[in-house]
Amino acid sequence: MRAVVCVPGGTELAELPDPVPTPDGVVVAVDACGLCGSDVHMVEHGRAVPGHVLGHEFAGRIAERGRDADRWRIGQPVAVNPLGGCGTCQSCRRHLPFRCPALPNLGLTAPGAYAEYVAVPQAQLVALPDEVEPELGAHAEPLAVALRAVRLGRPEPGEPAVVYGVGSVGLNVILALRLAGAGPIVAVGRSAGRRAAAEALGADVVLDSRVTSLARHAAEHGLAFGSGYECSAAVGALAETVAVLAPGGVAVQVALNSAPESLDARGLVGRGLTVVGSCAFDADDYAQAVAHLLAGRVDGAALVSERVSLAEVPETLVRLRHPGDLVRVLVRP
């Protein structure tokens, strides 16, 4: 099969052996996979293992099945939860399957979906209706990330919320906040194209952080936010988010910062604030994301800027280091 593999300094298209299903697994023919920012940065900063295949936001059709996976049909469309989990270890009991030491995570510690085919444990499949284009399932992973973050933020209906950073995850957080009934929603970003997408997806106010600070906007409009979601990894963004929370508010750190962040602990205590990290999701979050997409409550396709071939992935991963107006890019193998 053709796949995009990590090499020193980047990625390249290669020919690899076709994957073989385990007895309780299947092989999925990849229909679409999102190019995630975490993959972009992993390659950019040389953290990817040579020979590894990235790609964890994907869906496709069953191409082959193991002897114990007979409840799945060849050709059946499926969304794929990339995160495994034994279900019994401490991490799994705390709904953090990505930390489970027992099973690999597709595209992270096991071969992923920048490829024509992927071997997948059947427990990580979510069936899609036959009449649905499998690409819909590729939108579930970033939405599941956002649903987990918003669940941790505990927004109340009609309560102001702020989203700092309007990349793919931040935009999905806006969608998840709308589902939760929160608002008004203030989004903060730099890219003109992504700020326009934030407005189109339901943000009530969209700020260019280079022109208007979040603190200034909050002061001028008398806003105190019940929850804030830091999705940018920008230096100082978490502190800015915490500073505009209402007493008892929750700041959710979603982005993976490259440098330590300083916070005023006295302010956290005195105002009864909560700061929580949110990484990935569990199986329930993922299933809920698929359900929202199937019901039409969320239009994941509205975030897609481009669809590219496998051969275009290496160059596109480089372009996404400085995305400009690009919001979300899918590879269609």
Helix axes 168-180, 140-153, angle to 10 degrees: 60
> What whole-number percentage of the chain has pLDDT above 90?
86
Res 249 pLDDT > 80: yes
Query: How confident is the model at residue 261, as a pLDDT?
Result: 85
Sign of the dihedral defined by the CA atoms of residues 66, 294, 206, 148, in that order: negative
Phi and psi at 14, nearest 5°, equal -145, 165
| pLDDT at residue 257 in the model | 83
- Cα distance between residue 284 and residue 85, in whole Å: 12
State the pLDDT confidence band at 104, using cuts at 50, 70 and 90: confident
State the pLDDT confidence band at 177, using cuts at 50, 70 and 90: very high
pLDDT of residue 254: 96
- What is the C-alpha R_g of the chain? 20
Q: Which tokens belong to 117? A: 């085919």
Identify the burial level of 129 via C-beta atoms within 10 angstroms of its C-beta, where 0-12 means exposed, 13-18 middle and 19 or more buried: exposed
**Please, which pLDDT band fits residue 68 given cuts at 50, 70 and 90?**
very high
Q: What is the mean pLDDT of residues 169-178?
A: 97
Would the pTM of this model clear 0.85, i.e. be above it?
Answer: yes
pLDDT at 258 over 80: no
pLDDT of amino acid 87:
87
Query: 216 φ, ψ to 5°?
Result: -65, -45
> Could you give the C-alpha distances from 273 to 180, 183, 249, in angstroms and in order?
21, 19, 5
Tens of pLDDT, residue by residue over 115-132, are 999 999 999 999 999 999
Confidence of residue 103 (pLDDT cuts 50, 70, 90): confident
Summary mean pLDDT of the chain? 95
CA distance 87 to 124: 12
Q: Residue 325: its pLDDT value, please?
A: 84
What is the average pLDDT across 137-156? 97
> For 317, phi and psi rounded to 5 degrees?
-60, -35
Cβ-based neighbours of 273, under 8 Å, separated by 6 or more: 242, 245, 247, 248, 249, 250, 251, 267
Q: From residue 184, how far is each of 1, 170, 286 by CA, in Å?
A: 48, 15, 26
192: pLDDT strictly greater than 90: no
**pLDDT classification of 228: cutoffs 50, 70, 90:** very high
- Residue 330: predicted pLDDT: 98
**Percent of the chain having pLDDT more than 70?**
100
Residues 6+ apart with CB under 8 A from 180: 150, 155, 157
pLDDT tens track for 264-273: 899 999 999 9
